Structure 1
Amino acid sequence: MSIVTTSTPSFSGSHEETPAVAGRTAQRCAETALFMRDHVLSLVSHDLRSPLNAIHSWAYVLDRKVDANDATAQRALEGIRNGVDQQVKLLESIVDTTRAETRALALKRAPFALRALLDETVRDVRGGLADQRGVAIELASPLTDQQMDGDRERLAAALWLLVAFAVEASASGATVTLEGDVDASKFCATVTWQPSLAALTDPALPHVLENFARQQATHPREAGRIAWVLGLCKRVAEAHEGAFEQGQWSDGQPTALKLRVPLAGA
């Protein structure tokens, strides 16, 4: 099956932002911010628990070594244990509770056409950002009437963010490519582009993603971790029992974002 490719030139006047596109863009931005917050809270919860566990363990070791009759040392140990307990309760009562909305992500599954979703994604990002930035978007996909069973709205938000982030990180005149295809059991969406860190953070350019999110995305990432702003993509993929991957990047070198989800739920 041949690949059907559609493209738009930079600054195309035929893709102006409509009220409907503006409304969906605002909704997608709010969803992105919500999932980014919860993604960061998840990292905070995980990263704080490791040192707290270590402190608790060493306090136990010291408790067995310190003279039980040394009142000052015993008060110090008690203070350490109480401090650890307070921090753990804080994580449980505030951090974990706050991120509960996206941690257990409910899906509204129904059959839907994949090609229409890809077309809508490209249309919305063009009208909401790419045309203003002078960035072209190409859709490369052999899909016609193939369907999948999933939460269309959630996947629409994830695909929008994949493409919008790539546009945010592209210089004027660049091209972002969205590829969409299926195999026997999965739908795979891949966005490829050449990042420009300057374009991602330039305050003079139009942006839809928050400045804080864009700045953090330029920082070095630990192995296996993604930019915070892409937390929505990760959660939506995992909720569908799929996976999300952010490739390593350097200025001006091709990179990719990949979303893979089963065509049908378990």
Structure 2
Amino acid sequence: MSIVSTSTPSSSGRSEEMPAITERTARRSAETALFMRDHVLSLVSHDLRSPLNAIHSWAYVLDRKIDANDATAQRALEGIRNGVDQQVKLLESIVDTTRAETKALALNRAPFALRPLLDETLGDVREGLAARRGVTLALNTPLADQQMDGDRERLAAALWLLVTFAVEASANGTTVTLDADIDASKFCATVSWQASPAALTDPSLPHVLENFARAQATHPREASRISWVLSLCKRVSDAHDGAFEQGEWADGQPTTLKLRVPLAGA
């Protein structure tokens, strides 16, 4: 198994590479924010509909219990129904419409080599954030010429976010490791590091992810729900019929992010 560690690069050649890397990092950050927005809207839509449905059901029960000749009670019941209808229309006209842009994630599938994608990802994250944070990146992989059939750009964005989030949540002088291999018919990528929630939200440190996203990632997660900022990773993996997993984390403890994607589409 080969091990490639990336440290702060020398200044030679940086002037030619830096503009493209900076532009790509900015685009990745914007994509991350877009998918996070739509993920939050999806949660809002889901979590609001449940109590609204319950209110609607209880209004039906009350309608059968309340005296039809009680004008005050009937007006109150009508107000409840109108309120529920208004909230549902608001969800449909604003929330659902807004998130429609990424609801159906289109893929541009084509064969591509995996190893260059891994090297490119670590190079981007190193230049965009890791070098400025004093975090070392390491790649553990036996991959050389292996290929997969998928959307390279989407997968590049997902891998970038995996590594970037780990760097954001790492203290100076630590190492973020990307393990990549092929398991049966799937490409498997695992990012591991020692969690530092303080580094994730420290305003004195360089960051590329939004403040709100990083702060939310430090909150306790509900069962099976991922941090909002990582929603792009889940959407990309789901679109490829794969899986994304965010490990539990505590200050100073090892943690992981895992992405598994079939080598070929169904």
TM-score grouping bracket, smaller chain normalisation: over 0.9
| Offset from partner CA, 1:7-30 (integer Å, 9 cap, x none) | 034x45469571111010000000
Cα distance in 2 for partners of 1:141, 1:18 equals 26
The 5 A counterparts of 1:8-87 are: 8-9=6-7, 11-13=8-10, 18-87=18-87
For residue 195 of structure 2, give the secondary structure of its aligned residue in structure 1.
coil
Task: Tell me the equivalent position of 2:3.
Answer: 5
State the 1:184 CA deviation. Answer: 2.1
Task: Tell me the equivalent position of 1:114.
Answer: 114
Cα distance in 1 for partners of 2:147, 2:119 equals 14
| Offset from partner CA, 1:168-212 (integer Å, 9 cap, x none) | 000000100001111221111100001111110001100000111
Cα distance in 2 for partners of 1:242, 1:100 equals 22
For residue 84 of structure 1, give the secondary structure of its aligned residue in structure 2.
helix
For residue 182 of structure 1, give the secondary structure of its aligned residue in structure 2.
strand
**Larger displacement relative to structure 2 (177-186 or 32-41):** 177-186
For residue 6 of structure 2, give the secondary structure of its aligned residue in structure 1.
coil
User: Aligned AA for 1:7?
Assistant: S
User: Aligned AA for 2:208?
Assistant: V
In the superposition, the TM-score normalised over structure 1's length comes to 0.97
**Larger displacement relative to structure 2 (182-191 or 21-30):** 182-191
Contact 2:148 / 2:264 at 8 angstroms: preserved in 1?
Answer: yes
The 5 A counterparts of 1:57-206 are: 57-206=57-206
| Offset from partner CA, 1:57-88 (integer Å, 9 cap, x none) | 11111111111110110111111011111111
User: Aligned AA for 1:209?
Assistant: L
Q: Percent identity?
A: 81
Contact 2:6 / 2:122 at 8 angstroms: preserved in 1?
Answer: no
The list of structure 1 runs, each at least 4 consecutive aligned residues, that deviate by more than 3 angstroms after superposition, is 11-17
State the 1:102 CA deviation. Answer: 1.1
Task: Tell me the equivalent position of 1:208.
Answer: 208
In the superposition, the TM-score normalised over structure 2's length comes to 0.97
State the 1:248 CA deviation. Answer: 0.6
CA RMSD, Structure 1 to Structure 2 (Å) = 1.1
Contact 2:109 / 2:151 at 8 angstroms: preserved in 1?
Answer: yes
Cα distance in 1 for partners of 2:102, 2:224 equals 20
Cα distance in 1 for partners of 2:32, 2:185 equals 28
Cα distance in 1 for partners of 2:225, 2:123 equals 29
User: Aligned AA for 2:188?
Assistant: C
| Offset from partner CA, 1:200-257 (integer Å, 9 cap, x none) | 0001100000111000000000010011100100100001111111011000100000
Contact 2:56 / 2:84 at 8 angstroms: preserved in 1?
Answer: yes
Structure 1, unpaired ranges of 5+: none
Cα distance in 2 for partners of 1:100, 1:218 equals 28
Cα distance in 2 for partners of 1:183, 1:166 equals 23
For residue 248 of structure 1, give the secondary structure of its aligned residue in structure 2.
coil
Task: Tell me the equivalent position of 1:244.
Answer: 244
For residue 60 of structure 2, give the secondary structure of its aligned residue in structure 1.
helix
Contact 2:244 / 2:260 at 8 angstroms: preserved in 1?
Answer: yes
Cα distance in 2 for partners of 1:14, 1:55 equals 63
Structure 2, unpaired ranges of 5+: none
Cα distance in 2 for partners of 1:58, 1:113 equals 57
